[in-house]
Structure 1
Amino acid sequence: MSDFHKPAHSIKEQIATLSSRGLVIPDEARVHHYLANISYFRLSAYTRPFYQPGRQEHCFLEGTSFKEVSTLLAKLRVPEDTQRIERHFDWKMPVLRSWFRSLSDLRNVCAHHGRVWNREFGSRPEMPRKIPAGWPSIPVSIETGSHEHPEQRLDPRRRLYLQLVVIESMMQVVSPTSQWAERLVSLLDHYPQVSRPHMGFPGHWDTEPFWRDAVMNAREGLKG
């Protein structure tokens, strides 16, 4: 096992380092937010095009995979660390651990061009015990819409939809200005023939307050 002797730097010190290397930082609060969520070593490689000419540049290797982050979170036991993470995301650690594990598995399926439509996932995100305001309604079962078998139902909590809810919930913390949800809505609208229930989408999901802004922006943008 390698020994690391370099001291950890605060986010304020990281910003100072980036600035000293010539990076123009017009909005320090925004940089602070993204460093807190993405980390210095992942973000710094993308800052190179924004350095002032003639100033020193630095490139860092992205050595941590999503799976390793998920494993680290699963094994983290120091209360000071776990409580800090809980405060940041405003979710309890058991929920966050299940979310990261589930998204890690989803990422692997996507990376290997696996099917996410009409698929039950082995590791599913845990539902929070206390449902927060604005959280979408996710029933325990929905109709598949099959004409041949109208009685057929499935569990949306084992399908893609719940994982999409989890992704958007975390994006709202990590990158509040992200248009990821809008792109999701546009993608779904582009393929209306694809069965929504088989991905776990409940009926009228797009009227939920959770998705309302993304749906409105995506569809209004299409009209424009």
Structure 2
Amino acid sequence: MSTYNKPYLTFEQQLALLKGRGLGVTDEAAALACLRRIGYYRLSAYWYPLRQTVLSQAAGSSQITVQRADAFRPGSTFEQVLALYVFDKRLRLLVLDAVERIEVALRVDVSYRLGRRDPFAHMNPALLHGNFTKKVNATGRTAYQNWLDKHQQMVARSREDFVRHYQQKYGEPFPLWVAVELWEFGMLSTFYQGMQVADKDAIAARYGLPDGQLLQSWLRALNFVRNVAAHHSRLWNKNLVDQPKLPRAGAVPAFDPVIGQPAVASRLFVMLCILLHMMRVVSPNSSWPARLRQLLDGFPAAPGLSLADMGFPAGWEGHPLWR
């Protein structure tokens, strides 16, 4: 049973509560409009880091924990909260822009690589890795069987004209270069993981990476970031659930400065580095790096907040990927 017992508050009461906790509001009408349009709970993720911190220690324990008080840090304002919200929204859109380009390019890479051997390679277990097609999990199924189920669901649900055209003219299954257009990024990432080592390595080399295992890790992490952004969730200071592997020293020299820095590898900074690296292959003439830098240069000024909360280390401007 839920123990939630906080009272329902009108928008005016919500704003009064925030002001009572020390959040400055210079334009109450604008603040109320934001609460009506965006919502108290969604905005709370952006004023949370502006709340004061309190150190606590349980009786008989030497461990000190850091908690957030209800009161805000001196100088915190509703306008800063909104600026951080808008910054995060623009960041999500930039990330989705880059991921889309990478996803489209990877679809071509996969279908071109395997399609030359079999137009229906995705339906041919012999062309995929044995761990993907033969290793049975606790449910008695292989990862490939689960992936095929998902693939068939995507085909059945699709209302795309090209799907109806191929079904009517040729029937199923679709050739790989057609089928791949129905896959979500997660499906594409899983299929890449299930490819044979030589095929994965060949595609990874196109992105200047030493092996397919590294790209496989990057794709999983990109899928996580993409899902956060696509569902309009807070991204800017998100902890990475599936942290990407970093190349060994010297393998991709541009990443050498971030090797051995756990705080960097667990935050968005490393994902932005990965996007910058891959975008220089996929869209070398794109203005995306400049637009990202422009956004970062305008990071909202607020008490206690900085790009370090995103994992940006000191001197990041001089790192090869950011010059």
TM-score class, shorter: 0.5 to 0.7
Q: Within 5 A, what are the aligned runs for 1:1-224?
A: 39=108, 60=162, 62-77=181-196, 79=198, 81-91=199-209, 92-131=211-250, 132-135=252-255, 137-138=257-258, 140-141=260-261, 155-193=263-301, 195-212=306-323
Taking CA–CA contacts closer than 8 Å with sequence separation of 6 or more, which of the two structures ends up with the larger relative contact order?
Answer: 2
TM-score (norm 2): 0.42
- State the shift of 1:128 in Å: 0.4
Q: How many residues align?
A: 148
Q: Structure 1 unaligned runs (5+)?
A: 1-34, 41-58, 142-153, 213-224
Query: Is the CA contact 1:139–1:202 (under 8 Å) kept in the aligned structure 2?
Result: no
CA distance in 2, matches of 1:78, 1:117: 34
> Which letter maps to 1:72?
F
Q: After superposition, give the CA deviation of every residue in 1:47-72 in whole Å (9 maximum; x if it has no partner).
A: xxxxxxxxxxxx75741211111111
Q: For residues 156 and 135 of structure 1, do their structure 2 counterparts lie closer, same or farther at Cα, with a shift above 3 Å needed? A: closer
- Structure 1 residue matching 2:245: 3-state secondary structure: coil
- State the shift of 1:86 in Å: 2.8
- State the shift of 1:135 in Å: 3.1
Query: Is the CA contact 2:192–2:216 (under 8 Å) kept in the aligned structure 1?
Result: yes
Asked which structure has the greater CA Rg, the reply is: 2
Query: Is the CA contact 2:247–2:255 (under 8 Å) kept in the aligned structure 1?
Result: no
TM-score (norm 1): 0.59
Query: Is the CA contact 2:299–2:307 (under 8 Å) kept in the aligned structure 1?
Result: no
Q: For residues 77 and 38 of structure 1, do their structure 2 counterparts lie closer, same or farther at Cα, with a shift above 3 Å needed? A: closer
CA distance in 2, matches of 1:93, 1:86: 5
CA distance in 1, matches of 2:192, 2:249: 22
- State the shift of 1:88 in Å: 1.4
Which residue of the partner structure matches residue 138 of structure 2? none
Q: After superposition, give the CA deviation of every residue in 1:143-200 in whole Å (9 maximum; x if it has no partner).
A: xxxxxxxxxxx71110000000111111111111122111110111122425111100
Query: Is the CA contact 1:76–1:82 (under 8 Å) kept in the aligned structure 2?
Result: yes
Q: For residues 170 and 138 of structure 1, do their structure 2 counterparts lie closer, same or farther at Cα, with a shift above 3 Å needed? A: same
CA distance in 1, matches of 2:105, 2:219: 17
Q: After superposition, give the CA deviation of every residue in 1:15-65 in whole Å (9 maximum; x if it has no partner).
A: xxxxxxxxxxxxxxxxxxxx965639xxxxxxxxxxxxxxxxxx7574121
Q: For residues 140 and 117 of structure 1, do their structure 2 counterparts lie closer, same or farther at Cα, with a shift above 3 Å needed? A: farther
Runs (4+) off by over 6 Å: none
Query: Is the CA contact 2:238–2:310 (under 8 Å) kept in the aligned structure 1?
Result: yes
CA distance in 1, matches of 2:272, 2:242: 14
- Structure 1 residue matching 2:280: 3-state secondary structure: helix
CA distance in 1, matches of 2:106, 2:222: 16
Query: Is the CA contact 2:249–2:256 (under 8 Å) kept in the aligned structure 1?
Result: no
> Which letter maps to 2:272?
L
Q: Structure 2 unaligned runs (5+)?
A: 1-103, 110-160, 164-180
Q: For residues 90 and 107 of structure 1, do their structure 2 counterparts lie closer, same or farther at Cα, with a shift above 3 Å needed? A: same
Query: Is the CA contact 2:254–2:321 (under 8 Å) kept in the aligned structure 1?
Result: yes
The percentage of counterpart residues that share the same residue type is 35
